[in-house]
Structures are given as C-alpha cells and as structure tokens.
Amino acid sequence: MIMLANRLLSAATAGTRLAKFSTSASKYNIFDKITFIGTGKMGQAMLSPLITQNLQSPSSMTVYDVSDAALRKVEELYPGIKASSSIPDAIADSNLIVYGVKPQNVCKVHAEIRRAKLDGAGTVRDDAIILSVVAGTPIQNYVERSLVTKVARSMPNTPAQIGCGVTVWSCTDNVDANERRRITAVLDSFGKTVFVEDESFIDMSTSISGSGPAYIFMLMEAMIDAGVHMGFSRETATTLVHHTLLGSTKFAMETGEHPAVLRNSVTSPAGTTASAIYELENGKFRTVIKDAIWACYRRSLEMGGKSSQVGPNRSPTIPVDLQVMMNNIPISHHPVEPPMGEMRVPSSFGKKD
Ligand SMILES: NC(=O)C1=CN([C@@H]2O[C@H](COP(=O)(O)OP(=O)(O)OC[C@H]3O[C@@H](n4cnc5c(N)ncnc54)[C@H](OP(=O)(O)O)[C@@H]3O)[C@@H](O)[C@H]2O)C=CC1
Ligand SMILES: O=C(O)[C@@H]1CCC=N1
C-alpha cells in the first residue's frame, strides 16, 4: 500500500496527474491529515481539487476558521470534512498545516500554534509542515513565530479551484525529498507547479500569477461590456470573450510562438486590428500592465516588511520621501542591477570575419 502510494506520488512529481479513483473516498492520502486554517476563497479553492481528484479523503482533512459561515459552507460542500472549533483541536495529528488566512491574521495563528507546541501535549506533530499561501509573509516569520521548523511558502491562484491554477513555491532546507514530493503532489492538484530555490521569486510571482487572474478578469469584463455596448446580448458577448481568451492562450501555448509574432499574424495592413492596437498603445496598454505588476510586487514586499524600492522610477538607495522632494524626477527605469554576465563584450567583438 505504501509502495503504491509512493509510486503515485512519483507520478505526480513527474508532472503527470494522479489517477482518478472510481470511489468517491480516496484510498491514498498524500498526508496523514491536512488542516486548513482559514477556509475563505483560497482555502476552498485548494480543498476542492484535492477532494475532486480523490487525492486526500475528506475524513483526513480538518478545517478551522473564525467565520462560522465559512466553516458551515465547507461542511456542506464537502461532507466528511471535520470542522474544528479551535486551532489546537484542528492541528492535532496533522502533518500538513495550511495557512489560508489574510496576512494580517497570520500572527494570531502563529500564537496559537506556538502555544500548542510549548504546552508539550504533543498536539503539534514533530514532523508537521506548514504550507502557507499567504501573500508577503516570509518563511522566516513562520519559523520564528510558530516554532514549526519545516515551512513551505507558496503562491497559488484561484483557478486552482478547477485544477487550472499555477503555484510557485519554496521551502526551508530541512523539508526532505519525500516531503517535497508530497507537497508537490498537493500543489499539482491545483494545476501547474513551479519550485523556486530563492524565496524572493514568490513575491514576484504574486504580481504575475497570484494576482494575475484579477487583471484578466478586468480585461474580460471590459471586452464583454464593449460587446454589450455595441448591441450583443451579454450572453453572446461573454461567449465571444471567453473563447477568445481561451483560444488565444491555448494557441500561444501549443505553437510556442512569441506573442508579438501571433499578434502580427492578426494585424492586417491598414486593417481593423491595427486601428485597435493604435488606441491600446495610445493608452499605454503595455506600460499600464507592467506598472500594475510592479505595484503588486512592491505591495507584496511591503507586506513582508521589506523595502519596496524596486521597479521603474524607484531607487533602492534613495528613500521615497527624498524622491518626492526631488519632484519625482524619474531616477531610473532599471529595476535591478543589470545582469553583468550578459553585458560582457564578446571576444569576437570588432573582429572582421
Ligand atoms: N484570493 C486570492 O486570489 C489569493 C489569495 N492568497 C492568499 O490567501 C490568503 C487568504 O485569502 P482569501 O482566501 O482570499 O481570503 P478570505 O478572506 O476569503 O479567507 C480568509 C478566511 O480566514 C478567516 N480568518 C480570519 N482570521 C482567522 C484566524 N485567526 N484563524 C482562522 N481563520 C481566520 C476569515 O474569516 P473572516 O472573513 O471572518 O475574517 C476568512 O474566512 C491570503 O493570505 C492571501 O494573500 C494567495 C493567492 C491568491
Ligand atoms: O490580493 C491579494 O493580496 C491576494 C494575494 C494574491 C491574490 N490575492
């Protein structure tokens, strides 16, 4: 049984999806018990694929939330899951503790886990791993404040709910290979998984994939509204927009072409697309998107207590108030030190063939 479970886990880490089992109850749990602390939008987006893909049985999951309404909803949607009335009760016997609360509530959860750990009653398993999805909060904060030493930090996104998300994650060095495989199996159920050694890429990914669905939904909303403005029914406009976004994404992924090449192939000389693109450029479409992504990244850094002096017009060495005193004169468009390795002049430079 253990060998079979391990084989399935290896398959998951190799990028293939775990087999779907015919029974509704999973025979093969990835962790002995998974506890979700915070069962709001993201908590539920993560519970759903684990259960629908039969990777973790509801009876081997516990949830805790300060909101009774959120707990009742989970109990209703996923019969068999145990809703606990306290964190110590929820985490007892659990070897994966998922933090799904807002960043401002993380300290309260840390305090409860630390108390449970210090009271010596064995409520917190020695091999327990924290898996956080919280934006901003760095790994070190969990280690120091909860006293749980094995910590994985991740940034999923809401399409996880239908197994089409993408998650970037990292972990402390003491999470061993087998534990990493198990965490990967959990995250694989949400969609694509990317492991990064350097935690700072998690703040960056928050601005692209974590918050990214919100940008796409805004684009979707604007396109649908424009269609309705012209006279399409909302239903037809929605169908056109959904399939345009879906088809364009699949086309880009399957052809592997650069987006600019694909865009050019839509743009006929003196045609309709060129007129639309002119207006998008006029509104600084691409710059606005990039500025939004930098703003999101800065906010993630701020929430983690780090300097957010990154990106265009920011300097890591000049404080913001000084920049204001300087009448916001743009300092630099270079967000980080240029990659010197790539700037080296090739040895063949200047030589005639
Ligand atoms: N939404 C998203 O797209 C993504 C969110 N995240 C991260 O996921 C985390 C959760 O976000 P999201 O699901 O959107 O937020 P929600 O507000 O939907 O869910 C958080 C839940 O935690 C509850 N809660 C508050 N305090 C505590 C506590 N001390 N113990 C247990 N539960 C508590 C909240 O109750 P109440 O409402 O009563 O306060 C709420 O039900 C955040 O840290 C966010 O950064 C990461 C990736 C994407
Ligand atoms: O807006 C937020 O802070 C969270 C983190 C990523 C997506 N939503």
CATH number for position 233: 1.10.3730.10
Q: 210, 237, 253: which is the final residue of a domain? A: 210
Q: Can you give the pLDDT at residue 203?
A: 94
Give yes or no: residues 198 and 219 share one domain: no
Distance between CA atoms of 20 and 1, rounded to whole angstroms? 17
* Residue tagged 């207590």 (tokens): 305
User: Helix, strand, or coil here: 95?
Assistant: coil
Give yes or no: residues 223 and 203 share one domain: no
Q: 102 CA distance to ligand 1 centroid (A)?
A: 4
Q: 99 CA distance to ligand 2 centroid (A)?
A: 14
Measured from the Cα of 303, ligand 2's closest atom is 3
Q: Can you give the pLDDT at residue 321?
A: 61
98 lines ligand 1 (CB under 6 A): no
Residues 6 or more apart from 230 whose CB is under 8 A from it?
none
Q: 189 CA distance to ligand 1 centroid (A)?
A: 20
Neighbours of 227 (CB within 10 A): 18
Distance between CA atoms of 194 and 161, rounded to whole angstroms? 17
Q: Give per-residue burial for 316-350: e unless 16+ CB within 10 Å, then b.
A: eeeeeeebeeeeeeeeeeeeeeeeeeeeeeeeeee
Here the tokens at position 260 are 């600019």
Q: Is 274 among the domain residues? A: no
Angle between helices 272-282 and 285-303 (to 10 degrees): 40
91-122: per-residue pLDDT in tens? 999 999 999 999 999 999 999 999 999 988 88
Nearest CA to ligand 1 atom 22: 38
The DSSP secondary-structure symbol of 166 reads: E
Q: 191, 210, 229: which is the final residue of a domain? A: 210
Q: Do residues 34 and 186 make contact, with C-beta atoms less than 8 angstroms apart?
A: yes
Question: Across the beta sheet with 61-64, what order do the strands follow?
Answer: 82-83, 61-64, 34-37, 96-99, 129-132, 150-155, 165-171, 191-195
Give yes or no: residues 139 and 50 share one domain: yes
Strands 165-171 and 150-155, sheet pairing: antiparallel
Q: 223, 242, 266: which is the final residue of a domain? A: 266
Distance between CA atoms of 281 and 303, rounded to whole angstroms? 32
Q: 238, exposed or middle or buried, with CB in 10 Å at 0-12, 13-18, 19+?
A: middle
Give yes or no: residues 190 and 228 share one domain: no
Measured from the Cα of 213, ligand 2's closest atom is 7
The DSSP secondary-structure symbol of 346 reads: P
Q: What value does the CA radius of gyration of the chain take, rounded to a whole number of Å?
A: 24
Low-confidence ranges of the chain (pLDDT < 70): 1-27, 316-353
CA 247 to chain CA centroid, nearest Å? 23
Phi, psi dihedral angles at 265 (to 5 degrees): -70, -15
158 lines ligand 1 (CB under 6 A): yes
Which amino acid does the sequence have at 98?
A: V
Question: What range defines the domain where residue 86 resides?
Answer: 2-210
- Stated as kind and residue range, the H or E segment containing 127 is none
148-172: per-residue pLDDT in tens? 999 999 999 999 999 999 999 999 9
Give yes or no: residues 206 and 219 share one domain: no
Q: Is 261 among the domain residues? A: yes
112 lines ligand 1 (CB under 6 A): no
210 lines ligand 2 (CB under 6 A): yes
Give yes or no: residues 161 and 224 share one domain: no
Q: Is 279 among the domain residues? A: no
Distance between CA atoms of 131 and 118, rounded to whole angstroms? 20
Number of separate domains in the chain: 2
Give yes or no: residues 91 and 11 share one domain: yes
Measured from the Cα of 135, ligand 1's closest atom is 45
Here the tokens at position 91 are 């985490």
Give yes or no: residues 70 and 178 share one domain: yes
CA 9 to chain CA centroid, nearest Å? 21
Distance between CA atoms of 132 and 139, rounded to whole angstroms? 9
CATH number for position 33: 3.40.50.720
Here the tokens at position 128 are 């327990």
Give yes or no: residues 230 and 203 share one domain: no
Give yes or no: residues 118 and 231 share one domain: no
Most ligand 2 atoms within 8 A of CB, residue of 42, 153, 206, 301 to mutate: 206
- Biggest CA–CA distance in the chain, Å, is 77
Q: 37 CA distance to ligand 2 centroid (A)?
A: 17
Q: Do residues 49 and 161 make contact, with C-beta atoms less than 8 angstroms apart?
A: yes
Give yes or no: residues 224 and 86 share one domain: no
Q: 89 CA distance to ligand 1 centroid (A)?
A: 20
Here the tokens at position 71 are 């707990």
Give yes or no: residues 231 and 187 share one domain: no
Nearest CA to ligand 1 atom 19: 40
105 lines ligand 1 (CB under 6 A): yes
Q: Is 331 among the domain residues? A: no
